[in-house]
Structure 1
Amino acid sequence: MRNRTALLAAAAALAATALVGTTTTGATAQQSERKTVPISKAVPEDDLAKMTEQRPLVKAADKIRWAQERGQFGGFTGIGLEEDRVALWWKGEVPAKVQRAIDEARDTAPVRVVDAQYSLRELKTASARLQARLAEDPSLGHTVNIPTDGSGLVLATDGTGGKRAAAAAGETASEVAGVPVRTVEEPRLDQVSRDNDWSPWWGGARIWQPRAGCTSGFGVTDNTGAQYLLTAGHCGDFGDPFTSGGGTSIGTPSKINKTHDIMLIGTGDVTNFIYTGNPTDNVGVRVDGWDWVYPGEYLCQSGATSAGVVGGAICNIKVLFFYNDSEDLVEAEQMDGQTAARPGDSGGPVYTASASGGAIAKGTTTRVAGARLGFQDFGTAWRDFGVWIAS
């Protein structure tokens, strides 16, 4: 976890395009209606138990992840959470600094180190070759993923040609990439675009610009003290005036990374809370910081539209892997088969539970295909914009 003292197919399809007719209510009248609850009141008991059980694993994985972040070692392949331990895949000899981090991590949770066939760096190079081929021949497949174990690449296809076509696509892709490529049949993830928030702004609230509606992610700040709402990059453009669901002015985008699908809306006052209840109960939880994301981790998402459908957050979302296209997104799956996100959820908060009864920011929603969710991890916002959770 990192807090203030420590330091950060199409988009319109997930954005809701019809402005709901609500009247703006004054901030003073509404302020008292916000209800902060512990995370135990906002996440189903079984889902919270999974997050709690994983907390030592995440803490151990963080020690190794930060050693890699500082050193950028070439042998690194991936880190994942297994049932009762952390797994680190590495090609070649583990550097002394990483080994020290592993030893320290083992004081918190078991860590196994596995020899990887390829490093992440090698697989990104191979993926770039394959993505260039997909741009020339889209019939080959639509998405390239890198499994955490470094065994090769995974190419997602639409399955229209049957098993024989998928096998041929895998052979061609392997030749192009220069590494083994496994094919899977999966639909493309489409981008997804509460209801009357007020300053200081919370995450998880309905936000609007003249063409579409999305969800605010997290209140963030940087080393200048400026304050922003973090949301999805496809939710707007520079100059777009964003308002709350009730029409109160929030601000305009200050920074946008369209490739990574993240955006900062400059505003005067944000806070470290997110809505987690239904659109009208004003229930939310405190956000205690941010953290890296790991395959195998269980998370929740709190988009404004989904809150209106299911009455709260959608949880039991398990991280599968990171995309290796230019967006560099994370792919996860709602393990009960529920729809993971809906139009209007774009930019909404993805999070886990903290040890102190709040939430830990993990990212913001971008894409969905049924139970599968694509989101950008908070670490990318930290790298791109130098932001962290506001206090």
Structure 2
Amino acid sequence: MALLGAAGQGASADQPDRETVSVGQLAGKDAARKMAEQRPLVAAADVIRWAQERGRYDGFTGIALERNRVALYWKGELPAPVRTALAKARGKAHVRVVAAPYSLKELKSASARLQERLRADPSLGHTVKIPADGSGLVVAADPGRGAAASAERRAAALKEDLGVPVRTVREGRMKERGRDNDSFPWSGGALLKNNGNPNCTSGFGVRNGSGAQYVLTAAHCGQAGDRYTNGADQYVGTPGPRHQPHDVMLIPTSDVDNFMYTGGRGGDERGVRVEGWDWVYTGEYLCQSGVTSAGVTGGPVCNLKVKFFYNDSEDLVEAEQMNGQEAARGGDSGGPVYAAAAGGGAIAKGTVTRSLGSGLGFQDFGTAWRDFGVWIDK
């Protein structure tokens, strides 16, 4: 798998009581197999994704990972740079190009108008999602609100008004999810205390182009002026750059590393090395290592399959725990979401924001890269 983002300068020595393990050991045989099978697919998808990132072409709709191939959904003709990227991607994995009825740009425009409707009439729903295939918009509405026939009539009316199909699904609202004694240099997956109160999890140790070092976590975990410490009340830092709608925040600090806790709590110092960051794709299988879930399960929550990218001011990603387990718990907020790298380490994919049952809402690392210009510290 290609590692994205420039590497930081230098590295810190391992703390002697920490045990570095592989993601495959922790994820379980089934989840590890799924992530390993997807590596060539992700590598192929990355080639196309970066071509789109550079060109910002209007015809782009989405990229999805399927069982043994990549699907590129596109409306209209492929630009020459995308055709070039597609040829290169096909050297890594099978890629099919699917004609999309609507582009991502068109769907985002329709979504913005739909969100205005939701604010005026919350009974219509609470969250707008965009499927990777460009088939239309999906609105999540609270369970039990309105009859199915009424929902169908509303969807038909919305399609006529917005110009794109709208499908309603009945889902509750996800709740925000806000290791015990990490020490300098600060790592990912560790307990964060805000003004003395345990409330969140560190995501990843990152740095920017100027060499400044930060702990990446969720913006809803604190406000400017708050004092962050570890579980033993050792000072980490105070909130710095933040993007509240995207729910990402940087805590400036003296030193971080690319270690990430993945074991349980109460002295379990197991973890992995984070080898870099990468984009997220529909159909991809991931893990998350929030502090509270680690205390319950003794390790990470894996087999999280990416389902949708939201299209609102938050731009979150939705995943589902495919065994029906709790995807995250209170206190997991800001914690790392990641995939397994071929070398046994982890690839940063994002940070936890909220969850409901087996559903997980997280912010992808690519958004933090765009917002702050940061990458994994190595």
On whether the aligned pair clears a TM of 0.5, the verdict is yes
Q: What is the alpha-carbon distance in structure 2 between the residues aligned to residue 50 and residue 190 of structure 1?
A: 28
Q: What is the alpha-carbon distance in structure 2 between the residues aligned to residue 5 and residue 209 of structure 1?
A: 29
Compute the TM-score of the two structures, normalised by the length of structure 1.
0.92
8 A contact 1:130–1:176 mirrored in 2 = no
Q: Percent identity among equivalent residues?
A: 62
Corresponding residue for 1:190? 175
Q: What is the alpha-carbon distance in structure 2 between the residues aligned to residue 198 and residue 249 of structure 1?
A: 10
Q: Which residue identity is paired with 1:320?
A: K
- Matched position secondary structure for 2:106: helix
Corresponding residue for 1:303? 290
> Does structure 1 residue 178 correspond to structure 2 residue 163?
yes
Corresponding residue for 1:272? 258
Mean Cα displacement is larger for which, 58-67 or 244-253?
A: 244-253
8 A contact 1:333–1:371 mirrored in 2 = yes
Match of 1:108 among 87, 92, 104: 92
> Does structure 1 residue 314 correspond to structure 2 residue 316?
no
8 A contact 1:272–1:286 mirrored in 2 = yes
Q: What are the superposed Cα offsets for residues 104-163 of structure 1, whole Å, 9 maximum, x if unpaired?
A: 000000000011111000000000000011111111111111110111111111132121
- Matched position secondary structure for 1:254: coil
Q: CA deviation at 1:45?
A: 1.4
> Does structure 1 residue 216 correspond to structure 2 residue 216?
no
Corresponding residue for 1:97? 81
Corresponding residue for 1:14? none
Q: CA deviation at 1:177?
A: 2.1
Compute the TM-score of the two structures, normalised by the length of structure 2.
0.96
Match of 1:81 among 58, 62, 65: 65
User: Unmatched 5+ residue regions in structure 1?
Assistant: 8-27
> Does structure 1 residue 70 correspond to structure 2 residue 54?
yes
Q: CA deviation at 1:246?
A: 1.2
Mean Cα displacement is larger for which, 279-288 or 210-219?
A: 210-219
8 A contact 2:7–2:375 mirrored in 1 = no
> Does structure 1 residue 334 correspond to structure 2 residue 321?
yes
Corresponding residue for 2:367? 380
8 A contact 2:198–2:231 mirrored in 1 = no
8 A contact 2:7–2:377 mirrored in 1 = no
Q: CA deviation at 1:238?
A: 1.2
- Matched position secondary structure for 2:44: helix
8 A contact 2:22–2:344 mirrored in 1 = yes
Q: What is the alpha-carbon distance in structure 2 between the residues aligned to residue 171 and residue 6 of structure 1?
A: 52
Name the Cα RMSD after superposition: 1.5
Match of 2:343 among 356, 367, 371: 356
- Matched position secondary structure for 2:27: coil
Q: Which residue identity is paired with 1:202?
A: S
Corresponding residue for 1:59? 43
- Matched position secondary structure for 1:289: strand
- Matched position secondary structure for 1:208: strand
User: Unmatched 5+ residue regions in structure 2?
Assistant: none
- Matched position secondary structure for 2:241: strand
Q: CA deviation at 1:6?
A: 9.3
Q: What is the alpha-carbon distance in structure 1 between the residues aligned to residue 309 and residue 132 of structure 2?
A: 8
Corresponding residue for 1:247? 233
Match of 1:201 among 168, 179, 186: 186
Match of 1:368 among 337, 340, 355: 355
Mean Cα displacement is larger for which, 150-159 or 97-106?
A: 150-159
> Does structure 1 residue 35 correspond to structure 2 residue 19?
yes
Q: What are the superposed Cα offsets for residues 23-55 of structure 1, whole Å, 9 maximum, x if unpaired?
A: xxxxx9x93211111223222111111000000
Q: Which residue identity is paired with 2:191?
A: R
> Does structure 1 residue 126 correspond to structure 2 residue 128?
no
Q: What is the alpha-carbon distance in structure 1 between the residues aligned to residue 304 and residue 147 of structure 2?
A: 29
8 A contact 1:235–1:346 mirrored in 2 = yes
8 A contact 1:36–1:285 mirrored in 2 = yes
- Matched position secondary structure for 1:360: strand
Aligned length: 370
Q: CA deviation at 1:168?
A: 2.5
Q: CA deviation at 1:212?
A: 5.2
Corresponding residue for 1:158? 142
8 A contact 2:174–2:355 mirrored in 1 = yes
Q: What is the alpha-carbon distance in structure 2 between the residues aligned to residue 214 and residue 176 of structure 1?
A: 42
8 A contact 1:116–1:151 mirrored in 2 = yes
